[in-house]
A and B are shown apart, each in its own frame.
Chain A
Amino acid sequence: NAGVTQTPKFRILKIGQSMTLQCTQDMNHNYMYWYRQDPGMGLKLIYYSVGAGITDKGEVPNGYNVSRSTTEDFPLRLELAAPSQTSVYFCASSYSSRPYEQYFGPGTRLTVT
């Protein structure tokens, strides 16, 4: 049972480039989330999904897109990367019956220059 896995661990992008951050969980959780973590700012919710085919915006969704075609996968897409998107990105998942107990992946550190 690997839990929540994220790839890549690190990435450097140039301004205007695009990329997809991958997230997979093997706990059969219905709910999945994407957060960004900036120094001294805690975690901010970007997008979340309550099941395959259902996604919704969180607190800071601008500049990002998500999709949820399977229960296991929840990729985060950055289009036209900007320096403001330099951050550490965490994916998390939870059971629908206990959505507040979230299991986090190890994170992806993204730098946009």
Chain B
Amino acid sequence: GENVEQHPSTLSVQEGDSAVIKCTYSDSASNYFPWYKQELGKGPQLIIDIRSNVGEKKDQRIAVTLNKTAKHFSLHITETQPEDSAVYFCAASNLEYGNKLVFGAGTILRVKS
């Protein structure tokens, strides 16, 4: 089955700097890669996703890149702000098999002001 590894486990950046979180997946059949943000005391919330037919996707200060050959994808947050502090999870899925997401272990992002 699919296995998703996520690095780093914790990341501290200064406000205004960029943050990058990386994930690798094992199943070459996976074709959908969402990123979730979990704030303290809340459930995860989908913030951006990418499909395997796209190499990069941007939404304001966040972007996700995908390298299918190397089977890894990354979340990039630019101009970080204190409200970006949260736990971020990557996940992988095969759209043909619908609903099952396999999650990475999570990255605690701290933005220092």
Interface residue ranges, A against B (CB under 8 Å): 4, 31, 33, 40-45, 48, 50, 58, 90, 92, 94, 99-107
Q: What number of residue pairs across chains A and B have CB atoms under 8 A from each other?
A: 57
A101 touches B46 (CB 8 A): yes
Closest to B36 in A: A104
Contacts of A31 in B (CB 8 A): 99
B11 interface contact, C-beta 8 A? no
A40 touches B95 (CB 8 A): no
B25 interface contact, C-beta 8 A? no
B103 touches A43 (CB 8 A): yes
Nearest CB of chain A from residue B42's CB, rounded to whole Å: 6
A104 touches B45 (CB 8 A): yes
Please provide the 3 A-B residue pairs with the shortest distance between their CB atoms, ordered closest to farther: A104-B43, A99-B99, A42-B103
Complex Cα distance, B46 from A100, in Å, reads 10
Given pairs A94-B99, A104-B45, 9 additional interface contacts (CB within 8 A): A40-B9, A42-B6, A42-B106, A43-B89, A48-B99, A100-B93, A102-B46, A105-B43, A106-B41
- A100-B49 CB under 8 A given contacts A42-B105, A42-B106: yes
B98 touches A40 (CB 8 A): no
Most chain B CB within a 10 A radius of its CB, from A40, A42, A104: A42
Nearest CB of chain A from residue B100's CB, rounded to whole Å: 6
Contacts of A4 in B (CB 8 A): 43
Complex Cα distance, B95 from A94, in Å, reads 14
B34 touches A41 (CB 8 A): no
Contacts of A43 in B (CB 8 A): 44, 89, 101, 103
B42 touches A106 (CB 8 A): yes
Contacts of A33 in B (CB 8 A): 99
Nearest CB of chain B from residue A3's CB, rounded to whole Å: 9
Which of A40, A99, A104, A105 is close to B105, meaning CB atoms less than 8 Å apart? A40
Nearest CB of chain B from residue A76's CB, rounded to whole Å: 15
Closest to A9 in B: B41
Complex Cα distance, B96 from A77, in Å, reads 30
Interface residues of B in 1-46 (CB under 8 A from A): 4, 6, 9, 32, 34, 36, 41-46
